Each structure stands twice: as C-alpha cells, then as structure tokens.
Structure 1
Amino acid sequence: MDSLTQALLGATVGEAVLGNKIGRKASILGALGGTLPDLDVLIQSSMSTVDGVLFHRGPSHSITFALIASMLFSWLALKLQKKTSVSYQNWFIFFFLVIFTHPLLDAFTNYGTEIFWPFLDARVAWKTIFVIDPLYSIWLLIAVVFLLFYGKTNNIRKRVAMWALVLSSSYLLLTVYHKYHVDKNVTGYLEHRNESYDRIMTVPSPLCNWLWTVVIDKGDHYEAGYFSMMIAEQDFRDVIIPKNAPADWMVNEEELRGVKHFANDWLQYKKEEGGKMIVNDIRFGPMLGWYNPESGFIFSFEFKKSENGVIVKQNDREPEGNIKEELGKLWSRIWSTDINK
C-alpha cells in the first residue's frame, strides 16, 4: 500500500497497543515503525533495474526482519524510556505489530511481498486490494486526526484506534470476498462456454474495489478486460494481447529470469527498432487501462544486447492519452458494459 496508509496503520496500531501507557509517543513511534520497511527504496535506488524491483518488498518486508528489528528497538526503548512501566515484552509486541502489519497489508496487493524471506523465495500477492484505496485508509486517517487533537491518555483514545482498525480490517475482508466472487464468476463463465485456458488473474482496478481487471492466459495470447461487482451478467474481455516470444539472445539471461520471477511470468514481449526488446509486466495493466492498451504498461522493461552483456532499464514515460477520459470510462464500466452511456 502507499506510504501514507502504512504510516496511518502503524500509528493506529501503536496507539491501540501502548497508547494508554506512553501517550502520543505510541502513535508517533507507530507511524515511524509502520513506514520502516519501505526504506528499502533507499538501497533499491543504487541497484540495477532488475535487482531493484526484486529487492523492494523483499528482505525488509519479511517476518525475519520484523522479528530482528523488534528485538533491537525494544532493547533501545527499554534503555531510553526507563521511567515508564513498559516491559521489554510490551515493547517487543508493540514494535513487531507496527512493523509486521506493513508487509502483511502489502501482501493483499498485486506487487508481491517476500514475507517468508530467506526461507522461501516466493512473493506473496493475494491481489484483493489496489495499492491506494481510500475506503481502507479513511478510517485510519480519521482516527489519527482525532488522536492528534485529543491529548488525554485514557481509554477513549484506545477505543477510537481499535474501532478504526476494526472498520479498515472489515473492509479488507470485504475485498477478499469480492475477489472470491469475481474468481467464481469468471471461471464459471469460461467453463459454461467450454473455453480452455492456462490460468486466470483477477486484480482490483485503481482506487475502486467494485471494478476488477481480468486477464486470461490462453497460451499464445492474453484476453483482458473488466468485471464489475454491480452487473449480474457480463463479458469481461475487451482486448487481446499477443504474448510473442523473447529474442534468442535474452532467453538464458539472468535479468530475464529475474523479471519472470517478479511478474510470475505474466509477460508480453515486443520487438523494437535497433534490436531492442520491450518486456511488459501485464499484471498492472496499461497506464490508461485496458480500453487504451497502447498507452504503455505501468511496469515495462527495455532489454538491449551489448558487448558487455544485456542492458536493462525500466521504461519511464508519460501515458499516451487523456487520463480524465479514460478514468471516466472506468467509472462508467462499473455500472454498465456500455462505457459510452
């Protein structure tokens, strides 16, 4: 999730755990602890393109990191806060919860989070919520604003924090049900039509959990489109994306294996002039949505052969099209399969 939401979550969890003992420090330390795992971007910036995308949400987002960091910060807090009645065990629970809820929440998104590093080289991605979702974050924001202005250390602060966590977590559970509903309907639709496929991916669309992206792997191509929670019967395929094949010179390269691992092999290959190959990670879709697939993919990598091996860089360009118009199409698609209504 976005860094603001992670800070809000950490602040709210911190208040719920230790707010009645250390006051506002719980929210402040919680917010700092909640953003700690994302500091891996400082190291990521010095890495190669492929190593960088693999490192983000890697070691710093694991339960191993949360345990080690919690032990260290608990020891420091015990040394620096001798006047409080907070024990080492209390500090440990506090830091572990504010730190580990960060990667746990990230695991519900599409990017992939290595929670079990270094024991398991797999990126956990349950794909139930978009990386920015106001309906999840709003309850935490309300609670933190209240905590900033309500200075008394008593049970009211804790109750507000707890209610915010209950409401945000309830919405998160709703997103899990939404994904179950979408998966069930998509597979049922294809089976009813006796259509064969290799695999299906369903992910929530930007900012809204009532509209979902559906991508079907048909072997030599993908079929992609939208499924709305608000429509009873619908076809969810709007565009066909050819897979193509990687160039021979890049098949055995470590960089390509890294991108495949990162994207779980949801890739499309496009040959460009000058011998370059564009590798698109289609999990996040085009920048302006599947109604405008030529707008460029959100995660796209350029591979180029050189005398020293393969050079890879992540494409960083502005979307080609009208953002406002494309967002309007997505809003219309929630209510109708005719986006021109």
Structure 2
Amino acid sequence: MDSLTQIILGAAVGEATLGRKVGNRAMLWGGIAGTLPDLDVLANAVSDPMSALAYHRAFTHSLLFAVLAAPLLGLAIHRLYGGKDGPLPGPWAYPALLMLFYAMLTAGSYAMPIEIYHIPGITLAITLAFGGIFLVVAALRWLRGFPQKIPNTSWGGWTLLAFGAIVTHPLLDCFTAYGTQFLQPLASTRITWNTISVVDPLYTLPFLALLVWARTQVQGTAKRQWLNRAGLVLSSVYLLLTVVNYFNVEGIMEDSLAEEGIEAESLVVSPSIFNNVLWSGTAREGKDVFYFSQYSLFDRERSFAPYTRIEGNHAWLAPYANDRDLRILQWFTKGYYGVMPGSGGSEGQVQVNDLRYGLLDEDPTSPSSYIFSWQVDTTVHPVRAWQAPPGDNVDMNDLFSRLWKRIKGI
C-alpha cells in the first residue's frame, strides 16, 4: 500500500512491541522499519525500466529479507543508543553493518528467478539510503547534545521490533491487487489477494488518528497502549471486511458471466482506487479475449454489467515472446494484457496494456484508457519496453467525478 499507511502500520507495531520500554523511539523506528522495504523504488534511478518493474516488491518485500535485515537493523539501533550487546563492538560497527546489509541484499537479489540488470547499483543505492537514515537520526541526536539518559533495550528487543515492522509491510501488500513477491528468492510468484486498494482512506485515516492520539499520551501508560491496540484492531477488522467483500464480489462476477453466456477460463476482481465499494472485474475467454465490467455494492442489481469486450491481440507479439522485456510484462500482468498500436505512431511500436485494473475511459481502443501500459519497440532485438507516460488528454476532474458517480451505484 502507500508509504503513509506502511509508516503508520510500522509505528503501531513498534509501539506495541517496545513502547513501554523505549517510549517514542518505538514508534520512530517502527515507522522507519515499516517503510524500509519500499527503498526498492530506487531501482528506477539506477536501472532500466523493466528491471525496476520486476525488482519492486521483490526481495526487499520477502520473508527472507525480514529475517535477515531485522538483526542488522536491530543491532544498529541498539548501538545508536549506547548499547553494547551483540557482535561488532567499537567504532567500526556501522561500516561493518552497512557492508553486511549490502552483501545480504546483493546475494538475495542475484538469487531472484527473474533476470534483473544492474543489481550492484540497485543494492548500493538502497544500502546508502539505509545508512543515510541513521545519519539523519544521529544528526538530530547531535543537535540535542547527545542526551545521556536515553531509554534503550537489548539487541534482541530491537530485532523483534524491526522484524515485526518489516514483515507486516509485505503481508499488507499481499492484500492489494498489485501484490508482492513474499516468497522471493524461492519463487517469483506475486501474491495478490486483491481485497483492498493500494490507497484506501477508510483503512488509513482512522488508524492514523488513533496512532496520533496515542502519541499524545504519556509514554508507557495504559491509555496510550489501549489507543495503539485499538488502531491495530480496527484496521485489522476493516481488512477482514475487505476479504468478505472480495468473496462476495467474486461470486457475483461468476454468476454475471454465466448469465451473459461468457465462458471465462479465469477472472480477476479488485476494488477501485480509494475505496472498497466499487469493484472492477476482468474475465479471460480463450487465449486473448477479455471482458471488463464494474460492480458497486450500492448497485440495485447484484450483477456486473454491461461487459466491454477487449481484444488481446497477443499474436502481435508472439515472435518476441521469449525476449526478456516481454517475459517480464507477461509475468507482471499474469497474462491479462492487451496489445494495440503504439501511441507514438512509430512503425514497429506497440502499446501493451495491463487489463487487470479496468478502464479509465469507456473506449478500450483509446491508448489513455489504461492505468498501467508500456510502449514496446519491436524494431530492435531483443525488443525493448518502457512504461508509457500518462495520457495528455486524461481529465482528472472528470475521471474522479465519474468514479464518484459510479461508486454511488446504478
């Protein structure tokens, strides 16, 4: 999900783990650890577009990363506040920890089943950002004059906090339609449970309000702990309700397809952005014919209707199916993609659209109708792909107006 939500979740987990022992530092480091996996976005700055696409929500979002990174982060925090537990004593602790972090991240990235370019550069950028976080916190301590009486706990305690905050990040991402590669490097499968949007204010805002309220209370008090737990419980209950919604909507989609006489081989349903009321559904019939529709929980009829037919045109790219960039696109879209002429008008250039997230416009032949799309140049071999920029003719005010109108139901 979005970074703000992950910071909130990490801070709440940190408070629940060590709030009574280390006070506000539990929220601080929980929030930092909770957003640590998203440092993988730095791949966009140092690698090619398809490598960055495949690397996002990959090894840094895996269970193995949480297991290996937590002790390193825990030891670094323990040392920052004057602790002496564990290995690597003395002034060389931080350089050694950074080297270990870099080696762990690089080895895990090379073990990924997907072909990623420029891995040393990607992992170096992430490691430097990881070290930069400690430099910022240390600088703030320096500005405060290095206060001596700072609550600290054992290396093991900080490791437990770091693990809890890191691992809940990809677990929450698994509930989204974008998903995460939680099993890397053992498998490249992206786990996508499709129950919640990547941005959902009803999940985030009450959670944030309760966390901020808890932060205003005296450290270690029962009220502070109760408010923090209330945020965790409330957000978890809402997440459970999205799972109930998913199975309800999936059943409606299956019934609707049967009524329309569409013999779907597979289907995918997911909530639209910012809400859990309006759902999009895409069904695949045959190899490359797709049908898209929407359903709002406020609709009078329990039915996805009408359906928009979208031609996949997969044969256009069949000669290049084994090229690395196309293999990544096929993997990322899980086969739910459509091909159309490129928006640039260049000969040999086509546009590949991710069909799992529905349409931004009613016209499936419009290049700007898709949330995720890529331009593919077939005049070079192997073919080269890059993410298409947003369409210039997309009226965002009109888009959100239509979204709100559709949420209210038919």
Give the corresponding residue for 1:260. Answer: 330
Give the corresponding residue for 2:32. Answer: 32
Matching residue's letter, 2:311: P
Contact 1:291-1:326 within 8 A present in 2 as well: no
Note the alpha carbon deviations across 1:25-65, whole angstroms, 9 max, x for none.
Answer: 01111111111000011133222111111100000000111
Match of 1:199 among 266, 290, 312: 266
Note the alpha carbon deviations across 1:52-109, whole angstroms, 9 max, x for none.
Answer: 1110000000011111111112223333443756333322221111111111111111
Q: Identify if the C-alpha distance between structure 1 residues 190 and 248 changes in structure 2 by more than 3 Å, giving closer, same or farther.
A: closer
Give the corresponding residue for 2:135. Answer: none
Q: Give the structure, 1 or 2, with the largest relative contact order (CA under 8 Å, sep 6 or more).
A: 2
The TM-score with structure 1 as length reference comes to: 0.91
Runs (5+) with no aligned partner, structure 2: 84-149
Give the corresponding residue for 1:67. Answer: 67
Q: Identify if the C-alpha distance between structure 1 residues 285 and 189 changes in structure 2 by more than 3 Å, giving closer, same or farther.
A: closer
Matching residue's letter, 2:320: M
Contact 2:206-2:231 within 8 A present in 1 as well: yes
- Tell me the CA shift for residue 184 of structure 1: 1.1
Give the corresponding residue for 1:229. Answer: 297
Give the corresponding residue for 1:299. Answer: 372
Note the alpha carbon deviations across 1:113-156, whole angstroms, 9 max, x for none.
Answer: 11011112211111111110000001221123224433433222
Give the corresponding residue for 1:242. Answer: 311
Distance 1:306 1:190 in 2: 39
Contact 1:238-1:291 within 8 A present in 2 as well: no
Q: Identify if the C-alpha distance between structure 1 residues 320 and 16 changes in structure 2 by more than 3 Å, giving closer, same or farther.
A: same
Match of 1:156 among 212, 217, 223: 223
Match of 1:134 among 195, 201, 211: 201
What secondary structure does 1:37 align onto? helix
Distance 1:51 1:85 in 2: 40
Give the corresponding residue for 1:171. Answer: 238
Instruction: State yes or no: 1:277 paired with 2:347.
Output: no
Distance 1:78 1:310 in 2: 49
Higher mean C-alpha deviation, range 295-304 or range 52-61: 295-304
Contact 2:348-2:379 within 8 A present in 1 as well: no
Distance 2:407 2:43 in 1: 40
The TM-score with structure 2 as length reference comes to: 0.77
What secondary structure does 2:355 align onto? strand
RMSD over aligned Cα atoms: 2.0
Q: Identify if the C-alpha distance between structure 1 residues 172 and 290 changes in structure 2 by more than 3 Å, giving closer, same or farther.
A: farther
Contact 2:62-2:181 within 8 A present in 1 as well: yes
Instruction: Give aligned pairs, total.
Output: 335
Contact 1:214-1:236 within 8 A present in 2 as well: no
Distance 1:48 1:169 in 2: 37
What secondary structure does 1:283 align onto? coil
Distance 1:260 1:175 in 2: 28
Contact 2:16-2:228 within 8 A present in 1 as well: yes
Distance 1:128 1:242 in 2: 26
What secondary structure does 2:203 align onto? helix
What secondary structure does 2:358 align onto? strand
Matching residue's letter, 1:291: E
What secondary structure does 1:268 align onto? strand
Contact 1:24-1:151 within 8 A present in 2 as well: no
What secondary structure does 2:276 align onto? strand
Equivalences for 1:4-153 in 2 at 5 Å?
4-81=4-81, 82=83, 84=151, 86-153=153-220
Larger % of strand: which? 1
Matching residue's letter, 1:266: Y
Distance 1:8 1:19 in 2: 14
Aligned-pair identity (%): 33
Higher mean C-alpha deviation, range 201-210 or range 72-81: 72-81
What secondary structure does 1:120 align onto? coil
What secondary structure does 2:357 align onto? strand
* Greater radius of gyration (CA): 2
Contact 1:11-1:31 within 8 A present in 2 as well: yes
Distance 2:358 2:255 in 1: 23
Contact 1:113-1:124 within 8 A present in 2 as well: yes
Contact 2:24-2:219 within 8 A present in 1 as well: no
Matching residue's letter, 2:376: F
Contact 2:33-2:166 within 8 A present in 1 as well: yes
Runs (5+) with no aligned partner, structure 1: none
Distance 2:379 2:348 in 1: 10
Note the alpha carbon deviations across 1:290-314, whole angstroms, 9 max, x for none.
Answer: 5354233221111113455322211
Q: Identify if the C-alpha distance between structure 1 residues 192 and 271 changes in structure 2 by more than 3 Å, giving closer, same or farther.
A: closer
Q: Identify if the C-alpha distance between structure 1 residues 163 and 255 changes in structure 2 by more than 3 Å, giving closer, same or farther.
A: same
Q: Identify if the C-alpha distance between structure 1 residues 8 and 269 changes in structure 2 by more than 3 Å, giving closer, same or farther.
A: same
- Tell me the CA shift for residue 278 of structure 1: 0.9
What secondary structure does 2:197 align onto? coil
- Tell me the CA shift for residue 194 of structure 1: 4.8
Higher mean C-alpha deviation, range 30-39 or range 243-252: 243-252
